[in-house]
Structure 1
């Protein structure tokens, strides 16, 4: 089998077999196939696309390039959720304890933040003592006992993805939907979950800017998951404005604690909570715990409102070495920035738009994000949003607040926040479509 023949075949729009893809990917990981050859193949994929069968085969051979997590010692179905990344997206912090309190087993592997999007691992590490470096047996035992555990991604798992992504990053092939779908699903499936719920973000603060592109990616990932024996579904959700009101690692943990407090069903109005309930309902249905999505939603709301999810959150923190008392006193235990600055409105009117991307960039400039994977971050830094789309605002009234320790990029952060807000004279309706669509094949 010659690599240049496979490049030609893909260039001509033909389907590669699993055996051919294994030759290409395994050879690349072993340094037996040159970068320039795989780059040529990736560009051919960029222009010609891949069939559903081909995408599933590529995902399978990528999984086989490294270790896989065997969760069979845990009885019952194991569930997981993946978000394609956004701003103020704290749903994992809310969803994991909610699902565990509902009796579902959550065995989750998460990553760190990069660019303007936050990472769940970074957020949880703002809690003193919280560990993400659990060994395999420790991870499994924790899921058995508490129904939930979360660990960081390892280099040994799907090494083909890391190597291929680095190549795509410098060859203008990052935006290829088949390659994005295979990248995401190879890591999800290698992590061992039986049920996978995908949250595909769409909007100015998301990787997928249009609903059409988001739906295409969601469909590709769902097809891959189902073909490889996982119960998989996806929702498409808006990321035109930040999901939560606090953007930054410790700030998002603080908001999660506030949102998990006991409440009435009528008080479940925050976008982050509404989305969390929708995700929990669909996961419960996919896992066979609920007869319908609507029944799953009722179970999720009851579990959330009674405070059971908050109790599960505390158990989760303590099980992984963290200080559980952060739930009662976040001010005492979460890191706080030395500097805070309120940004006020220069005019009266209504917030027409609050763009997520500039807000995410501002938080990153203040220290909450990283440009390269190894960069240090400031767990206390970030942005608090006071006015969202549709809100009325008076001149001199607070729009947002920045938190930072290092003010080196303060001015640039303020410019980004100013760019994010558009205020007009006439009333503007608040957005009603957080959930833009779903794919359940």
Structure 2
């Protein structure tokens, strides 16, 4: 018997475990328009309060994957691997990870998103590159992944359209913060990309959506269990976000930081550890490395040999960007008229950082958005961000501001002086807390 949308909503509202067919039927209606926005909102709210069992999460993920095109890479020689981060401040890992994996023999069709709230978006970073096309058609994506090995783009209309509609409804009905719905949303897009393997970066701390390690672990366990249950080999690193990952936050500044990372001009230590760690586990999941140590060595060689830089520049060129993106002249169009150092209140060491507030300082400068439709300034932001434990005194700044005018710089400076707490040097946080492997690897 086929249930009506309102009957499925009522069953979940009352705490029932929905069948695969019930979930598939509801998502089919969501895609076709037979399910109204009001019904989708009621379904999201029922799940928010009643949650879903693992089998339900797998069914919801697969149904949303199957609402659109599922890419087929079977003709490629080599595994298809990708990475997803739950978001943070100064998190530009994707810009280096995709090219490193490609240089190691993987194919990386990375479907990324834009920033919202205090977190920066990978697509916004690539929009800072003149000419780069973040929304190519599917055939262009296929060509670039085949010819170059990696392509970092945005979600197309063909991929998981049910997720796009449901997320828009969740966003305005206060139902975003639910592990079941978050899990299905993230994984349906990754499964639609036709991946063989996925490595997840699930962050915990003051700059993450999951503030505590327990919360982050719960999300990571859900993602790993559901992804593997849906047939995609997946593992997760739990990483720290109690301070910005890179020493830069802001779109072009993070691109420049990534280029410096790839060329070897400058590599932030924590960023290097997270990037190579994710690459190592991704290569193991994709069958390109024997174990984590082997994967780490392969990734390190790809980085230090310049092979990853070659992949990055080839990808940028293939998607419409300049052929010599590593040339400093490409940053001239983003030059800000106001550049100033920020000094902390008092002297000592950086004892704590409200990392979310650092991200909001970038938003104040115009480099982020709180409205998904808002435009942003790709040139503004922060660099030379001080790490936890760093010295702070009248000669040693905690950050450098890039702003369009003095008023915006003043406001960003006021915010930064509040969010960097000065005192005794704290005990260092682990960069990586733990790795959650697929069950057969445990």
- In structure 1, what is the equivalent of residue 45 of structure 2? 43
Query: What is the aligned partner in structure 1 of residue 279 from structure 2?
Result: 280
Distance 1:345 1:262 in 2: 30
Aligned length: 436
Q: Return 24-33 or 159-168, whichever deviates more.
A: 24-33
Deviation at 1:330, TM superposition (A): 5.0
Alignment partner of 1:73: what SS?
Answer: coil
Q: Is the 8 A contact 2:149 2:311 kept in 1?
A: no
Question: Deviation digits for residues 233-282 of structure 1, max 9, x if unmatched?
Answer: 1111111111000101110011111112248xxx9661111111001100
Contact (CA 8 Å) 2:187, 2:227: kept in 1 or not?
yes
CA contact (8 A) 1:250 1:335 kept: yes
Q: Which residue of 2 aligns with 1:52?
A: 54
8 A Cα contact 1:233 1:439, kept in partner: yes
User: Where does residue 426 of structure 2 map in the other structure?
Assistant: 428
Larger deviation, residues 333-342 vs 382-391: 333-342
Contact 1:83 1:198 in 2 (8 A): yes
Give the aligned partner of residue 76 of structure 2.
74
Is the Cα contact below 8 Å between 2:135 and 2:155 reproduced in 1? no
Q: Distance in 1 between matches of 2:297 and 2:429?
A: 21
Q: 3-state SS of the aligned residue for 1:246?
A: coil
Give the superposition deviation at 1:331.
5.9
Q: Which runs of 5+ in 1 are unaligned?
A: none
Give the match for residue 230 of structure 2.
228
Shift of 1:328: 3.4
Cα 1:120–1:268 change in 2 (3 A) is: closer
Q: How does 1:255-274 map to 2 (within 5 A)?
A: 255-262=257-264, 270-274=269-273
Give me the TM-score of the superposition, normalised by structure 2: 0.93
* CA shift for structure 1 position 408: 5.6
Taking the aligned partners of 1:126 and 1:216, their CA distance within structure 2 comes to 35
1:440 maps to 2:437: yes
Change (3 A) 1:252 1:334: farther
Partners of 2:248 and 2:383 within 8 A in 1:
yes
* 2-structure distance, mates of 1:331, 1:40: 48
Cα deviation digits, residues 282-303 of structure 1 (max 9, x gap): 0110011111011101111122
Indicate if the aligned counterparts of 1:195 and 1:287 stay in contact, CA closer than 8 A. Answer: yes
- Partner residue in 1 for 2:334: 335
Would you say the 8 A contact 1:126–1:334 is kept in 2? no
Write the distance in 1 (CA, Å) between the matches of 2:39 and 2:264.
57
Corresponding residue number in structure 2 for 1:389: 388
Report the more deviating stretch, 218-227 or 237-246: 218-227
Match 1:83 to one of 75, 82, 85: 85
| 1:253 alignment partner, one of 255, 259, 271 | 255
Tell me if 1:125 matches 2:109.
Answer: no
RMSD across aligned C-alpha pairs, in angstroms? 2.0
2:284–2:291 contact (8 Å) kept in structure 1: yes
Q: What TM-score, normalized by structure 1, do the two folds share?
A: 0.93
The verdict on how the C-alpha distance between 1:31 and 1:378 changes in structure 2, with shifts beyond 3 A counting, is same
Deviations 1:341-387 (A, max 9, x none): 22112321111012210110001110111122221111101011342
- Whether the aligned pair in 2 keeps the contact of 1:66 and 1:156 (CA below 8 Å) is yes
* Structure 2: gaps spanning 5 or more residues: none
Give a deviation string over 1:175-227, Cα, whole Å, max 9, x none. Answer: 11000100111111112221111111111111111111111111111122112
Q: Is the 8 A contact 2:343 2:417 kept in 1?
A: no
Q: Provide the C-alpha distance between the structure 1 equivalents of 2:331 and 2:159, rounded to a whole number of angstroms.
A: 37
Q: 1:344 to 1:137 in 2, by over 3 A?
A: same
| 1:273-422 to 2 correspondences below 5 Å | 273-329=272-328, 335-406=334-405, 409-422=408-421
Q: SS at 2:202's partner residue? A: strand
| CA–CA separation in structure 2 for the residues paired with 1:330 and 1:117 | 27
Indicate conservation of the 8 Å contact 2:45/2:175, yes or no: yes
Residue 228 (structure 1) shift: 1.6
Post-superposition shift, 1:129?
Answer: 1.9
User: Matched residue of 1:375: which SS?
Assistant: coil
